[in-house]
Amino acid sequence: MPAAAPSSVYRPRHPERSDFYKIFEQHFERYLLVYDERYEPRWGPLRPAVQPAVTRFLDCGRLQGGFARVRCERSRAEHLLAFSCSCRNFCPSCQAKRAALFAEKLVSDVLEPVPHQHITLTIPRAIRGLFRRDRRLLGILARSAFDAIRKTCEASLERRDLRPAVVLSIQTFGRVRRSRSHACLALASFC
């Protein structure tokens, strides 16, 4: 029997080299200083979660933010493994890992092998400010989206005894089809 292939060599990811990282490193302090005067009148107060998330992101994957020493018992090789920030929906590296693990969990433990549909709903521009100012409204939005999906499934199948399964993700940033979408629902529906 051939020997197992050696594991790959650890290579740090160097987040500080990315343009995304550089923008926050160079401009975030200034942004905080001018936020109240320049942005708060239109966008409301800065959410308390923003500053800690950016601070953790700037330390993510960097030895300065903390690390663990990892040693292979067999070869005695060692390296330092920088801690991650685990910021939800902000750090590209941590979010990619979280999304992959969540998708794997859905496929292996939750979803049945049935047809499904991906649906994206956008919020009209006129009421987006409400969701920016009062994040609790996002829960009502999610329930309303589910109710709309359920009623559509019931009507299209002419049945009142079913309940679709829905995996819902709320996106409150970015762009969708050239128009700003400050609140978007991505739904995977199973009727």
Residue 94 lies in a domain: no
On the question of pLDDT at 65 being above 60, the answer is: yes
Q: Are residues 140 and 182 in the same domain?
A: yes
Residue 48 lies in a domain: yes
Residue 9 lies in a domain: no
pLDDT at 183: 42
- Neighbour count for residue 32 (Cβ, 10 Å): 13
Q: Are residues 59 and 118 in the same domain?
A: no
Over residues 89-113, the mean pLDDT reads: 80
- Neighbour count for residue 37 (Cβ, 10 Å): 8
pLDDT at 10: 59
With vertex at residue 89, the alpha carbon angle to CA 85 and CA 93, rounded to the nearest 5 degrees, is: 50
Q: Are residues 119 and 174 in the same domain?
A: yes
pLDDT at 38: 94
Q: Are residues 118 and 173 in the same domain?
A: yes
Q: Are residues 118 and 181 in the same domain?
A: yes
Q: Are residues 62 and 115 in the same domain?
A: no
Out of 82, 99, 130, a domain closes at 82
DSSP labels for the chain? -PPPPPPPPP----GGGSHHHHHHHHHHHHHHHHHHHHTHHHH-SPPTTHHHHHHHHHHTT-GGG-EEEEE-TTT--EEEEEPP---TTT-HHHHHHHHHHHHHHIIIII--S---EEEEEE--GGGHHHHHH-TTHHHHHHHHHHHHHHHHHHHHHT-SS---EEEEEEE-SSEETTEE-SSEEEEEEE-
Q: Are residues 51 and 117 in the same domain?
A: no
Q: Which domain holds residue 56?
A: 15-82
On the question of pLDDT at 172 being above 70, the answer is: no
| Least confident stretch, 23-32, 46-55, 172-181 | 172-181
Share of the chain above pLDDT 90, in %: 9
CB of 168 closer than 8 Å to CB of 185: yes
Over residues 16-36, the mean pLDDT reads: 91
pLDDT at 119: 80
Residue 19 lies in a domain: yes
Which of 59-73, 83-97, 171-185 is the most confident on average? Answer: 59-73
Residue 90 lies in a domain: no
Per-residue pLDDT tens digits for 31-59 = 999 999 999 988 888 888 889 889 888 88
Residue 98 lies in a domain: no
Which of 5-9, 93-97, 138-142, 186-190 is the most confident on average? Answer: 138-142
In the chain, the number of structural domains is 2
User: Which of 62, 74, 49 lies closest to 18 in space, CA to CA?
Assistant: 62
pLDDT at 179: 39
Q: Are residues 69 and 119 in the same domain?
A: no
Residue 186 lies in a domain: yes
Of residues 4 and 166, which shows the higher confidence score?
Answer: 166
Q: Are residues 19 and 73 in the same domain?
A: yes
pLDDT at 29: 94
Residue 124 lies in a domain: yes
